[in-house]
Amino acid sequence: MNSEDLSILSLIANASLVVKFVMAILASVSFMSWYWIFRKGLTLGATRNNTGNFEQQFWSGIDLVQLYRNVSQDRDNAGALARIFESGFREFSKLHGQKGLEPADIINGARRAMRATYQREIDDLEAHLAFLASVGSVSPYVGLFGTVWGIMNAFRGLANVGSATLAHVAPGIAEALVATAIGLFAAIPAVVAYNRYIHEVDRLSIRFESFIEEFSNILQRQLR
């Protein structure tokens, strides 16, 4: 057995059908994982930028009615925090125009509207993060299954060999270990990305919740 027979491509090409199937699954999962890693990274980056820009506008002293109009005109591109503000101010304006409502009812209504939008925005930010977590936790075991299966085939092949040597068993074991390597290649980036992104979502969540409370206090002072 020469060294060319133990190249990665040769090992994959000569692997058993089950091991090839495992490798194909892991390669597909890895591709999807990297797709969501890049896409989610861009989404969270844009959300951070939009949040910072909106906070700068909000605390600059701009008239809230004008800010509401600006956000309403471009709601889809305004950002998560801007949409939370827009839903709260819209509900506040609607309830404030009704007679017979207590100030606490108006504030609670605005806060509930912001909370509902907040939950939708957080759900959008967390979308597909569970997939990355699943890839990170399951892929090594799928790769290990391919490895075990390949090693079993390698040792079964020794039954027909009178004198077993390392040259007989090495290719089978090597091709089996490739499955584990592919499983780790799929799992490690997914775990790193998941941990980083869930931390980013938590930080944004704290900023959103702080804004809801601060904006509720501002609306309460306006009613007084």
Closest CA to 135 of 35, 12, 18: 35
Mean pLDDT of 76-102: 90
Q: What is the pLDDT of residue 166?
A: 58
Q: What is the pLDDT of residue 159?
A: 63
CA-CA-CA-CA torsion for 11, 17, 19, 21, nearest 10 degrees? 120
Closest CA to 48 of 216, 173, 199: 199
Q: Which two tokens stand for residue 89?
A: 């101010």
Name the residue with higher pLDDT: 3 or 76. 76
Domain map (residue ranges) of the chain: 3-223
What is the distance between the alpha carbons of residues 220 and 205, in angstroms, rounded to a whole number? 23
Over residues 101-127, the pLDDT tens digits come to 888 999 999 999 999 999 999 999 999
